[in-house]
Structures are given as structure tokens and as C-alpha cells.
Amino acid sequence: MTPSSSGTTGASSQGSARNYAHDALDEAQDKLHELRHSVDPVVEKLAGNAQKLARQSMDMANQARQKAQDSLSRYADATTKYVADQPVRSVLIAAAVGAAVALLVSSARNHKRY
């Protein structure tokens, strides 16, 4: 083997290694593109499902809020009607509830001191 022929063989093997590396890189890029194209629809579907679930949750929360408001309104109307129909009894009930709350608060304060 002459020095010039061994240099040519070394350059040739370096070129082959570069070609092999470029080919491997190109193949990896192609696989990555394929993977990205197969993953994108799945991600979009998951995002769509998450948005749908969020909308449904908001709708359910709004329905619950509306039901609570309706119930509160009915109870407020019933209480107003009861007070209008039974003013003396309403004042006596309110006084009794106020006294009971005052006793509970007083008892809790005295209990904490000891």
C-alpha cells in the first residue's frame, strides 16, 4: 500500500461515515415527522375533549347557581309572607332565636376563659 492509496481509503471511509450519519439523521427526521403527524390529531382530540368537559362543568355550575338563587328567592318570599301574615309571632320567634344565640355566645366565651 502506498501512502497515497491509504489516504484515499481513509477519506473514502470518512465520506461513507458521513453519508451513513446523514442518512441516519434524515431517517430520524422522517420518523419524527411521521410521529408528529400521528400525535397531532390525538393532542387536538384531547384538547377538544378538555374544552368540552370545561364547557359542561361551567353549564352545570350555572344550573346549580340558578337553582340556588331560585330556592333562596322562594324562601325569602315565604319568609316575607309569613312575617306579613304573623307579625307578632315573627317578632317573638326572632327574639327567642336572638336570645338563644346570645346565650350560646356567652357560654362559649365563659367556657374559653376556664
- Reported as a single tens digit per residue, the pLDDT across 14-70 is 778 888 888 888 888 888 888 777 777 888 888 899 999 999 999 999 999 999 999
What are φ and ψ of residue 94, in 5° steps? -60, -40
Output the pLDDT for position 33: 83
Output the pLDDT for position 49: 92
| Residue 43, C-alpha cell as written in the block | 393532542
pLDDT band at 10, cuts 50/70/90? low
Assess whether pLDDT exceeds 60 at residue 3.
no
Looking at per-residue pLDDT, the higher value among 113 and 29 belongs to 29
CB 74 within 8 A of CB 67: no
Q: Taking the model in full, what pTM does it have?
A: 0.47
The amino acid at residue 64 is A
Q: pLDDT over 90 for what percent of the chain?
A: 52
